[in-house]
């Protein structure tokens, strides 16, 4: 899929570079020729959504398996954490991973799936129920994960389990 998007982008860029003047517009069309940047911004949403969905998939797999390792690399340098049984606050990525690890030690996840993913906003988020076993009893909690773009990557900026 990435290769197809790159080819489409290259074709669009070539077409724009070859037709870089208003005189080369189709008959009846007036106004400026779109810039390469404008065309690239139009093409970006698909790549943006794909990157967001891939990150939410990693989070879902990690939380289903009860493993911090699958998502620790995706934590922002500072994460707002609110997990049942823990002190809410803003924590470093390492501290947030440790808190999530303690959650998994106390509760063995048996099922998790995002039921709502909003990837069209500037701060995408996903929510869904997580079922776990704690002291022999089944529990269900709600998970909320929001992302923030840091540099060129999307990172987990907020993690709530309540």
Can you give the pLDDT at residue 33?
Answer: 57
Per-chain mean pLDDT for the chain: 83
- The model's pLDDT over 5-15, given as tens digits with 9 standing for 90+, comes to 444 444 444 44
Q: What is the CATH number of domain 2-19+35-161?
A: 3.10.450.50
Distances (CA, A) of 98 to 1, 44, 70, 104: 35, 35, 13, 10
Full-model pTM: 0.72
In whole angstroms, give the CA distance from residue 28 to residue 81.
56
All structural domains of the chain with their residue ranges: 2-19+35-161
- The model's pLDDT over 20-50, given as tens digits with 9 standing for 90+, comes to 444 444 455 555 555 545 444 454 679 999 9
């Amino acid at each position: 899929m990435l290769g197809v998007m790159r080819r489409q982008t290259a074709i669009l860029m070539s077409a724009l570079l070859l037709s870089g003047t208003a005189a080369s517009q189709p008959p009846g069309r007036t106004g400026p020729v779109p810039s390469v940047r404008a065309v690239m911004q139009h093409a970006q949403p698909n790549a943006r959504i794909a990157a967001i969905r891939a990150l939410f998939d990693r989070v879902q797999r990690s939380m289903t398996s009860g493993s911090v390792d699958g998502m620790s690399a995706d934590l922002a340098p500072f994460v707002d954490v609110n997990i049942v049984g823990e002190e809410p606050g803003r924590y470093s990525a390492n501290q947030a991973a440790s808190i999530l690890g303690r959650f998994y030690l106390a509760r063995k996840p048996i099922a998790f799936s995002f039921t709502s993913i909003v990837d069209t906003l500037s701060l995408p988020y996903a929510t869904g129920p997580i079922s776990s076993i704690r002291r022999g009893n089944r529990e269900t909690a709600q998970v909320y994960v929001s992302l923030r773009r840091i540099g060129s990557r999307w990172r987990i900026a907020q993690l709530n389990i309540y």
